[in-house]
Amino acid sequence: MNKISIVGAGMTGATTAHWLAERELANLVLVDVVEGMPQGKSLDMLQSMPVIGKDVSILGTNDYAATAGSDIIIITAGMPRKPGMSRDDLLTVNAEIVGKAAMETLKHSPDAIFIVLTNPLDTMAYLTLKKTGLPRERVIGQAGILDSARMRAFVSMETGVSVENINCYVLGGHGDEMVPLTRHSNIAGIPLRDYIPADKLEAIVARTRKGGGEIVNLLKTGSAYYAPAAACAQIAEAILKNKHLIVPCAAYMQGEYGLNDMYFGVPVMLGRSGLERIIEYEFDEAEKANFEKSAASVKETHDALRKLVEL
Ligand SMILES: NC(=O)c1ccc[n+]([C@@H]2O[C@H](COP(=O)([O-])OP(=O)(O)OC[C@H]3O[C@@H](n4cnc5c(N)ncnc54)[C@H](O)[C@@H]3O)[C@@H](O)[C@H]2O)c1
C-alpha cells in the first residue's frame, strides 16, 4: 500500500485525508502541532472505514517520525485567510511553518513527492523547492485544479450542462490576478465564448477570480476546504496511479512561457515521477497581457519571501 502523509490536520488537511481514504489509495498519516486533534480526527475517520468498506490505515500524530517512508507529502499546515485578508498577507507566518514542515518530512521521506497547498500558494511551493533542494518534478503546488473547478461549477450553474462536459482552464498565480482562459475552455468541445453570452461569461470570470474570497466572506472564520482538498486528492491519485493526467498546477518555471525561477500555474502532466512535463498553450495578445500581470504579482510575493528567508 502506498503511504501519504498530510502536514496540517485542519480543515483542508483532514478533508484531503477523507477524500483519499474514500479512494483507498494509500495509508494515511496526519501530522499537526495541536496535541490530540490529529489523533482524534484520524481515529474518527478510521472508524468510518468499516462503514464504507475501505481498508486504509489512518494515523494521527504530533511526531514527524510517523511519516517515514511516505510516497507523497501534502503540506496544508499554516494559517488560512480571514475576511479582508489577501493570500499574500499570510506570507510571514506561513513561510516559517511550511519551511519547517518541508524539512522535517524530507528527513523521514527522502524520496517523497511534495504537494503544497498552504497560501500564498505559488510562493510556498517555491519555498518548499528551495528549502528541500528537490528537483521541480517533486514539488507541485495545488491551485489551478481548484480555480478551474470553481469556473466549471459556475459554468454548469449558468448553463445547466453536466460538469463532466465542462472543461475550464484557469492558469497563472493563485490570486485575484489569476487567468481564466475563456478561449481554451469549452463545453463538450464548443468554446465557452460561443455558448455563453459575453456579459454572463465576464461575470463567471470575475466570480472565479474572487471564488476563494467569496467563501472566506461567507464562512468568516476560515477558508474553503472541500474543493481544495478534492484537488489535492486528484493530484495524489494522478501521481500514484501514473495517470499522465494533464491539469493546471503551480510548477517551477525554467523558461516555459518566458518565465524563470518562479512558481506559476500552468498545465502540467502528472505521473509517478511527479511533474512529467509542462504544456505550453498559444496565447493571443489579451491572454498574454493577463498572464504577465499575474506573473508580476507572483514575482512580488517571491521577492518578499527572499527578503524574509535565506534560500
Ligand atoms: N492553494 C489552495 O488552493 C488553498 C485552498 C484552501 C486553503 N489553502 C491554504 O491552506 C492552508 C490551510 O488551510 P486550512 O483551512 O486547512 O486551515 P486550518 O487552520 O483549518 O488548518 C491548518 C492547520 O495547520 C496546523 N499547523 C500550524 N502550524 C503547524 C506546524 N508548524 N506544523 C504542523 N501543523 C501546523 C494548525 O494547527 C491547523 O490545524 C492555509 O494557508 C490556506 O490559506 C490553500
pLDDT in tens, 121-157: 999 999 999 999 999 999 999 999 999 999 999 999 9
Provide block-wise average pLDDT over 10 residues at a time, the chain (311 residues). Answer: 98 98 98 98 98 98 98 97 90 97 98 98 98 98 98 98 98 95 96 97 98 96 97 98 98 98 98 98 95 97 95 88
Residue whose C-alpha is closest to residue 175's, from 119, 111, 235, 246: 119
pLDDT the model gives residue 256: 98
Output the residue whose Cα is nearest ligand 1's atom 21.
10
Query: What is the structure's pLDDT at 22?
Result: 98
Torsion sign across C-alpha atoms 17, 21, 26, 28 = positive
Distance 10 CA to ligand 1 centre (A): 6
Under 8 Å between Cβ of 209 and 183: no
- Region of 39 (left: φ > 0; alpha: ψ -120 to 50; beta: rest) is alpha
Which bin fits 36, alpha (ψ -120 to 50), beta or left (φ > 0)? left
Ramachandran assignment for 78, one of left (phi > 0), alpha (psi -120 to 50 degrees), beta (any other): left
At 96, the amino acid letter reads E
Quick check: helix, strand or coil at residue 48? coil
Best residue for ligand 1 mutational test, from 119, 124, 128, 234 (most atoms within 8 Å of Cβ): 119
State the residue for C-alpha cell 491539469.
Answer: 247
Note if 108 is an active site residue: no
Q: Within 10 Å of residue 31's Cβ, how many Cβ atoms?
A: 26
Q: What CA–CA distance (Å, rounded) separates 294 from 290?
A: 6
Is residue 81 within 8 A of residue 212, CB to CB? The reply is: yes
Query: In 3D, which of 117, 175, 164, 148 has the Cα closest to residue 304?
Result: 175
Question: In angstroms, rounded to a whole number, what is the distance separating the alpha carbons of residues 245 and 145?
Answer: 12
Q: What was the pLDDT predicted at 100? A: 97
Cα 80 to ligand 1 centre (Å) = 6
Please report the pLDDT score of residue 152 as a whole number: 98
pLDDT value at position 56?
98
User: Is 126 within 8 Å of 102 (Cβ atoms)?
Assistant: no
Residue holding cell 525554467?
A: 254
Query: Which pLDDT score, from 0 to 100, does residue 302 have?
Result: 97
Q: Which residues line ligand 1 (CB under 6 A)?
A: 7-13, 31-34, 76-81, 90, 94, 97, 100-101, 117-119, 121, 142-143, 146, 174, 222-225, 228
Q: What is the pLDDT of residue 234?
A: 98
Check residue 129 and give its pLDDT: 98
Check residue 203 and give its pLDDT.
98
Name which of 141, 138, 103 is nearest 121 in CA terms.
141
Q: 285-305 burial by CB neighbour count: b if 16+ within 10 A, else e?
A: eebeebbbebbebbbebbebb
CA dihedral 34, 141, 165, 18 (to 10 degrees): -20
| pTM greater than 0.95 | yes
